[in-house]
Amino acid sequence: MTAATPLVTGTDFICVPVKDFEESRRFYTDVLGLEPSSVWQRPGQDPVGAEFETGSLTIAILNSAMLGTDPTPHGSPIALRVDDVAAARAELESRGVEFKGEIIDSGVCHQTFFEDPAGNALGLHHRYALRS
C-alpha cells in the first residue's frame, strides 16, 4: 500500500447504545421500517446487539446492560437518507415520533431531527443539490 492508496475505503457500521433493547429493536423495525440483518445472541441469553441495514450503513444497536457499557446516547445525528423529508417526517409522526424543530433547508439539502427511544440522535436527510 502506498501513501496515494486510500487506507479507508468506506464506513461499514455504527454502534448505538440502548438501555431497553426490545423497545429499541421494535423502534428500528416497526417505526423506522428497517429489517434486522443480524441478532447477536448466545443460546439462552438475552440479545447483545442487533444490526439494521439502511442501504449504505449498518446501524448496530448494543444492549448496554448485557455488555456492561455506558448507555450514554449519541448526541450527533445519524443522517438517514430519504427521498422526501417532509413526507417521511409526516409518516414517522403518524407512528408517534416527535421531531426536534422544523425541517431545515441548508441550500443543498433538507433535514430534520429526532431521537430513538434511547435518546440517540437521528435525522432524515435529502440532498437536492450538488455541493459547490
Segment 72-88, tens digit of pLDDT: 999 999 999 999 999 99
Decide if 132 is inside a domain: no
98: cell is: 416527535
List the one residue out of 52, 61, 64, 68 whose CA is nearest residue 19.
Answer: 64
Decide if 68 is inside a domain: yes
- What range defines the domain where residue 121 resides? 13-127
Decide if 4 is inside a domain: no
Beta-carbon contacts of residue 68 (< 8 Å; ≥ 6 apart)? none
Segment 39-98, tens digit of pLDDT: 988 888 888 999 999 999 999 999 988 888 888 999 999 999 999 999 999 999 999 999
* CATH number of the domain to which 81 belongs: 3.10.180.10
Residue 2: pLDDT band (50, 70, 90) is: low
Decide if 19 is inside a domain: yes
Decide if 7 is inside a domain: no
Decide if 47 is inside a domain: yes
